[in-house]
Amino acid sequence: MGKEILVLTGSPRRKGNSDRLADAFIEGALSAGHRAHKFEAAYKNIHGCRACNMCWSTGTEPCVVKDDFFELAPLIESCSLAVFVSPLYFWGFSSQLKTAWDRFYAYGREDGAKRIAIRESALLLTLGDTEDATCRHAVGTYRDIAEYLGWKDRGIIVAKGVNGKTDVAKHPALSQARELGRSIAAIA
């Protein structure tokens, strides 16, 4: 049966490197009968977590900050797989992705834990540098978040050495992302 997949992107560059990885993944997933929901954090009005700890205080809503997180929340509650997509910015995730990701805080708490549908995750990352070590913090952060929220990692694809907006078009990561989307249900 097809999966419902949340693809959460973090680059402000449309048709840039990470966006192309996201689209390749989606193309593969759709070809295998899955449904993908692309949420472009860079084009949404999402504020940072206020640490007010008022999550679920209304009984039904994840957050008291009324912004576009209310478009993301239904996907967090309906998609079983989440794919996080980002350019590397100063050794970490783009602030656009991280800001949206921080708002998952509501789903690490008891009321949210009952509602979140995500059980699996994947990471698509692009960076200008060519050293593996340069993305160690971002990859480590992804792994720690996945472990904290109890998600099974389904794959990490990193495109190194891509700086120009379309550089990833010639990078093997593009076909790897498409193949990950196509084979996602079959991975044990």
Ligand X SMILES: Cc1cc2nc3c(=O)[nH]c(=O)nc-3n(C[C@H](O)[C@H](O)[C@H](O)COP(=O)(O)O)c2cc1C
Q: Rule CB under 6 A: which residues touch ligand X?
A: 11, 13, 16-19, 87-91, 126-129, 134, 162-163, 165
For ligand X, the closer CB: 171 or 182: 171
Q: How far is the CB of 80 from ligand X (least distance, A)?
A: 25
Which is nearest to 88 in space by CA: 117, 146, 47, 129?
A: 129
For ligand X, the closer CB: 13 or 115: 13
Residue whose beta carbon is closest to ligand X: 16
Q: How far is the CB of 102 from ligand X (least distance, A)?
A: 18
By DSSP bridging, strand 35-40 and strand 81-89 are unpaired
Q: How far is the CB of 186 from ligand X (least distance, A)?
A: 28
Distance (Å, whole) CA 177 – CA 180: 5
For ligand X, the closer CB: 62 or 87: 87
- Give just the sign of the alpha carbon dihedral 14, 100, 27, 37: negative
**Three-class SS state of 102:** helix
Distance (Å, whole) CA 51 – CA 142: 21
For ligand X, the closer CB: 131 or 147: 131
For ligand X, the closer CB: 87 or 112: 87
Distance (Å, whole) CA 149 – CA 66: 23
Q: How far is the CB of 85 from ligand X (least distance, A)?
A: 8
Q: How far is the CB of 169 from ligand X (least distance, A)?
A: 11
Residue whose structure tokens are 């999966």: 3
Q: Which residues contact 1 (CB under 8 A, 6 or more apart)?
A: none
Q: How far is the CB of 73 from ligand X (least distance, A)?
A: 25
For ligand X, the closer CB: 94 or 121: 94
With beta carbons less than 8 A apart as the criterion, state whether 87 and 94 touch: yes
